Amino acid sequence: DTGVSQDPRHKITKRGQNVTFRCDPISEHNRLYWYRQTLGQGPEFLTYFQNEAQLEKSRLLSDRFSAERPKGSFSTLEIQRTEQGDSAMYLCASSLPAGAEQFFGPGTRLTVL
């Protein structure tokens, strides 16, 4: 399978705990994006990388959220001190540098109790 993969697919955690998600993009894609989607809404942009550089982070993103892409391949998204409002589907997507189309992974569904 050469598509975008995400791990885990589901995560249930208690409020206040830290969680980390992983995304593996399509191998030749150097752009990687993180989105959050809640029920009945479209995906909301969180942040994106070109290679290992984080180029933009949404102003809506709390300081509790951090993302890395240390070697320009896979990326991790960490949420510290989770809150119930963080419950959502976290989607990762990748694209070629000049290509507009983004290919999405299956997502990680987070439930904060």
Q: What is the DSSP letter of 2?
A: -
d(CA 7, CA 25): 12
Q: Is the peptide bond before 8 cis (omega within 30 degrees of 0)?
A: yes
Contact window for another protein (CB under 8 A) among 18-26, 61-69, 76-84, 95-103: 95-103
Per CB under 8 A, the list member of 48, 65, 75, 77 interacting with another protein is: 48
From the CB of residue 21, how many other CB atoms can be counted at a distance below 10 Å? Answer: 21
| Contact mark string toward another protein, 54..83, x via CB under 8 A | -xx---------------------------
For binding to another protein (CB under 8 A), which residues are involved? Answer: 31, 33, 40-45, 48, 55-56, 91, 100-107
